């Protein structure tokens, strides 16, 4: 059985790492891994940490490239990879431009496509952008759909995608648990580069990430001003903000927060560094999808810095609250969590709705059953 796994960004690599490991340890399975390097350095850190083999490195990252330029280059470079690998199935994850282009490349080559983390929807065309449309299109290209939650599965069925849909949980939880094991056994000193020496961990740590395109400009400015207000109002907190390398993020955040005491603007962190920091944080403010899913497994309440989220399950379960990007509301919601211990404990102790850490094994077993049946019937792909 030949399987081609394609990723291009750090979140994709993180969420596919447990599945790649599961497949590689299975006799009779030949796994080929393609990194488009849509995000070069940040993806490479994950590859090295999880010791992922990369058979095809397309090295497509370029400064300031547009989505059209990236998409065009992905189409042209992925076609020969699919032809050479000649897989029985192409696996893509999530909703990036890499995932969309790889799904199309598999479709053009008449290869089955498996979509990990299928069925997420915000119902807003431009939020997140371009991810909402990417994942909708992938759902109508893919042959096999691995939904992380019942809601995601329902979303697919409501759109007419009713066959070959499985609810398996989210592999990001598998990746988190795998990372914690690796940190415990191979990297006991989690702050290996001394990036956190200036942080006073005796205080309550607010971990912040903000990088989505729809938050560029005024929303990110509001977020930054809210963080400044919070450290001024609460002397017992420190804000730790690993700043995305995008110049539009760097400029806005630095202008407002660079000189503010007890706000630490850090360079991008490796995945193990981020996991270690998340473990030691009091709560998390983020516009990241993956962090919304990971933090509850560590008992960390999440405040979502977006106007809409496709991770509705966390909001409904009570592990996360959607607070938007307005300065006043961010300050109010964060202040509430800092002062209301009963609310904090409810959020911290609620079960994570995104899975128990066995999603990769479920996906592997389903795929092997499908491919074995296809090999027996000599009908490798639904048409």
Catalytic residue (choose from 12, 22, 88, 131): 131
**What's the CA dihedral at 319, 324, 329, 331 to 10 degrees?**
70
Catalytic residue (choose from 213, 228, 248, 329): 213
> Apex CA 162: angle with CA 382 and CA 172, to 5°?
90
By the 8 A CB rule, do 274 and 242 touch? yes
pLDDT at 379: 52
Q: How far apart are CA 173 and CA 18, in angstroms?
A: 9
pLDDT at 188: 46
Which CATH architecture group holds 2-169+357-377? 3-Layer(aba) Sandwich (3.40)
Catalytic residue (choose from 95, 143, 174, 238): 95
pLDDT at 303: 98
- Comparing CA positions, the residue from 68, 78, 2, 88 lying closest to residue 34 is 78
Q: How far apart are CA 275 and CA 355, in angstroms?
A: 18
Residue 95 annotated in active site: yes
- Burial (CB count within 10 angstroms: exposed 0-12, middle 13-18, buried 19+), residue 336: middle
Instruction: Note down pLDDT in tens along the chain; length 383 residues.
Output: 999 999 999 999 999 999 999 999 999 999 999 999 988 888 898 999 999 999 999 999 888 889 999 999 999 999 999 999 999 999 999 999 999 999 999 999 999 999 999 999 999 999 889 999 999 999 999 999 999 999 999 999 999 999 999 999 999 999 999 998 888 776 545 555 577 888 999 999 999 999 888 899 999 999 999 999 999 999 999 999 999 888 899 999 999 999 999 999 999 888 888 998 999 999 999 999 889 999 999 999 999 999 999 899 999 999 999 999 999 999 999 999 999 999 999 999 999 999 889 999 999 999 999 998 887 776 555 55
Residue 211 annotated in active site: yes
pLDDT at 307: 92
Task: State how far the alpha carbon of 242 is from the alpha carbons of 44, 222, 225, 254, 263, in Å.
Answer: 18, 17, 16, 12, 11
- Burial (CB count within 10 angstroms: exposed 0-12, middle 13-18, buried 19+), residue 294: buried
CATH 3.40.50.2000 fits 194-349, yes or no: yes
Residue 244 annotated in active site: yes
pLDDT at 378: 62
- Comparing CA positions, the residue from 150, 140, 154 lying closest to residue 170 is 150
Residues of the chain with CATH 3.40.50.2000: 2-169+357-377, 194-349
Residue 124 annotated in active site: no
**What's the CA dihedral at 152, 169, 141, 104 to 10 degrees?**
130
Residue 264 annotated in active site: no
**Model confidence, pTM:** 0.86
Catalytic residue (choose from 10, 32, 135, 244): 244
Catalytic residue (choose from 10, 135, 211, 311): 211
**What's the CA dihedral at 382, 26, 181, 291 to 10 degrees?**
-10
- Residue matched to tokens 């503010």: 260
Catalytic residue (choose from 12, 22, 88, 117): 117
Which token pair is 9?
């960004």
């Amino acid at each position: 059985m030949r399987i081609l796994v394609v990723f291009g960004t750090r979140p994709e690599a993180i969420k596919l790492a447990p599945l790649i490991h599961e497949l590689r340890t299975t006799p009779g399975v030949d796994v080929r891994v393609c990194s488009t390097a849509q995000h070069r350095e940040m993806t490479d850190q994950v590859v090295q940490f999880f010791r992922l083999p990369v058979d095809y490195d397309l090295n497509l990252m370029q400064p300031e490239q547009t989505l059209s330029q990236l998409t065009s280059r992905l189409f042209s470079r992925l076609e020969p990879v699919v032809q050479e690998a000649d897989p029985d199935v192409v696996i893509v994850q999530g909703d990036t431009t890499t995932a969309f282009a790889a799904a199309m490349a598999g479709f053009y080559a008449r290869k089955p496509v498996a979509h990990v983390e299928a069925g997420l929807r915000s119902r807003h065309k431009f939020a997140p952008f371009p991810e909402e449309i990417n994942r909708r299109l992938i759902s109508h290209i893919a042959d096999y759909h691995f939904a992380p939650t019942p809601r995601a599965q329902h979303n697919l069925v409501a759109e007419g995608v009713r066959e070959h849909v499985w609810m398996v949980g989210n592999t990001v939880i598998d990746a988190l648990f795998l990372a914690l094991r690796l940190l415990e056994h191979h990297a006991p000193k989690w702050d290996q580069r001394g990036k956190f020496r200036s942080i006073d961990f005796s205080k309550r740590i607010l971990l912040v990430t903000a990088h989505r395109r729809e938050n560029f400009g005024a929303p990110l400015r509001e977020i930054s001003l809210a963080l400044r207000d919070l450290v001024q109002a609460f002397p017992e907190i420190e804000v730790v903000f690993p700043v995305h390398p995008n110049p539009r993020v760097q400029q806005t955040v630095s202008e407002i927060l660079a000189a503010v005491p007890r706000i630490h603007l850090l360079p991008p962190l490796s995945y193990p560094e981020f996991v270690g920091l998340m473990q030691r944080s009091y709560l998390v403010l983020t516009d990241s999808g993956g962090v919304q899913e990971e933090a509850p497994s560590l008992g960390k309440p999440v405040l979502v810095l977006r106007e809409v989220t496709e991770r509705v399950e966390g909001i409904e379960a009570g592990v996360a609250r959607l607070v938007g990007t307005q300065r006043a509301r961010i300050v109010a919601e964060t202040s509430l969590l800092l002062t209301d211990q009963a609310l904090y404990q409810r959020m911290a102790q609620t079960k994570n709705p995104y899975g128990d850490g066995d999603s990769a094994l479920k996906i592997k077993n389903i795929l092997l059953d499908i491919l074995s049946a296809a090999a027996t019937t000599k009908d490798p792909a639904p048409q």
